[in-house]
Structure 1
């Protein structure tokens, strides 16, 4: 049996509850796992003056994969603060943000949804190059051919492994032909190397409408950083909400998996947080390590508990984090 070393970063807020829950679930798999703990986030910044210490970067680089809990991002500019996840994405070149959306047996979930949104993770408007001249504020959007080509290649290879073999390239090149046009044209050129994948383009506002009206028509979608960020919250809403939405930040050498939800300071410390998104992110982590059978086992356990109960408060139940996690572990064992 292979041995894996997993870096755990709790982060902020409910991260201190959902990461320990996911660790218990991973330990219940019986895989040979060693856990290393590291620190990052806004709470760490307030205490130490930096959001991601170099020691954390070193631990992420030295382990097989990383599971991250939740991060707080203040809505106002805080001098010296860098968003922990955004910094790690750029520093570790985690260029692909992968967010699956699959139907779950919970209230509000559409049926027959099984799509993956792939988002370019290192540039676009999220390069955080902003400036202000009096009452005028300007933000740069950086799109490069290199980053567009490699995210297109990643999304095409992902689509190639799936049953539908479809890729929707999401863009706004009709309004922004230079930046969005470079992204679109680069990926469509790359798609010529994948004739077995049906590649087509969709303007982002039309994509939002079609996702709501007929999400089952989509397979893999690829988008720039901002559009992918927005649409992935929409796709999470199609299948039950952010509380059960996983994601991965994947590069050529390193990978950090995280739940999509925020740090939820309003419920932090109360023991009521839903750990589903973090557990499903852990399943993505296992897939990344090649442990596909155990990843499916985790996903099936999640759906069984969501169907039969107990459910957490955000899904209409009364269970706390520990009771829900206990139920998952019983299913796995």
Structure 2
């Protein structure tokens, strides 16, 4: 029995969580769910975007499934707070082509490993007489930790190359620390090819020569931007899952946000949420059930009969979920 904290959030978050839970009823796993709140809707009810109770539930769980939240200016970010409180220092975002989707490339299979706790997302900002400043925090410890994670991930998953993305030619001190840490760690993994690229060049090559990448490791903001760019190569944000991994906890979420423009229309694509659950199962060691769930989704995508509008279909979220579930029964 696995203890799973569910944080539906708001926007389309509750819709994709509902679809996932319906599908997971047909999976041969015993999951004990605990509900928790976060986001703007939670703020309206409790006065906090991320109550202490939610953080405690996540800490006590084997894994957390997170839908999506709306972050209003001036409010504390629920997801960034969770990442910091649970020390989820590694964010894994696969960029993978699936047949039946609107991919620009049909054979992509790369992974972006993003440092998750510092950089410009440290939240250290202040107003000045001329505007505002933000502090970009890059430490040796966090840089070494994320680079080691990336190389270990590559080794475990039989990947051949790790590419560090930075801007050390301009950000000489902060990205200099990150680049130096990368090459120090690379010495411990001689069988894996290591290289580095400037982030602007990498952004171009991700579109023009994406097959040159295997595992990308980078800092917080660069990873956020590049992973959304990668999503555009494989059918959009509705197709990209993510995992937030720490030494003691793990949280899984779709890359897409709360999508207020389609909230309530019941047409949100559940694929990224489902693939996030696949990543959760792999993390828990339930690889057989993970492959069954992933293959059920692939069957539906390939058949192209029950797809949401962003995938070129006309189905509702739960109609697509019902078809995926039928593949598991």
Q: Give me the TM-score of the superposition, normalised by structure 2.
A: 0.97
In the TM superposition, what whole-angstrom CA distance separates every residue of 1:296-317 from its partner, at most 9, and x where no partner exists? 2222211211111211011110
**Structure 1 residue 73: Cα displacement:** 2.0
Partner of 1:161: 156
Question: Could you tell me whether the CA contact under 8 Å between 1:94 and 1:251 is conserved in 2?
Answer: yes
In the TM superposition, what whole-angstrom CA distance separates every residue of 1:135-174 from its partner, at most 9, and x where no partner exists? 2321100000000011011000011123342100000001
**Structure 1 residue 292: Cα displacement:** 1.0
Matches within 5 A, 1:13-32: 13-32=11-30
Partner of 2:50: 52
Q: Secondary structure at the match of 1:252?
A: coil
In the TM superposition, what whole-angstrom CA distance separates every residue of 1:54-98 from its partner, at most 9, and x where no partner exists? 111111111110000001123xx32xx211000000111000010
Q: Provide the aligned C-alpha RMSD in A.
A: 1.1
Q: Secondary structure at the match of 2:25?
A: helix
**Structure 1 residue 36: Cα displacement:** 1.1
Partner of 2:290: 295
Question: Could you tell me whether the CA contact under 8 Å between 1:27 and 1:33 is conserved in 2?
Answer: no
**Structure 1 residue 6: Cα displacement:** 1.1
Unmatched 5+ residue regions in structure 1?
Answer: none
Partner of 2:111: 116
Partner of 1:229: 224
Q: Give me the TM-score of the superposition, normalised by structure 1.
A: 0.96
1:181 aligns with 2:179: no
Partner of 2:70: 72
Question: Could you tell me whether the CA contact under 8 Å between 2:28 and 2:289 is conserved in 1?
Answer: no
In the TM superposition, what whole-angstrom CA distance separates every residue of 1:240-272 from its partner, at most 9, and x where no partner exists? 100111001110000110001011112112221
Unmatched 5+ residue regions in structure 2?
Answer: none
Partner of 1:314: 310
Number of equivalent positions: 327
Bigger mean CA offset, 110-119 vs 293-302: 293-302
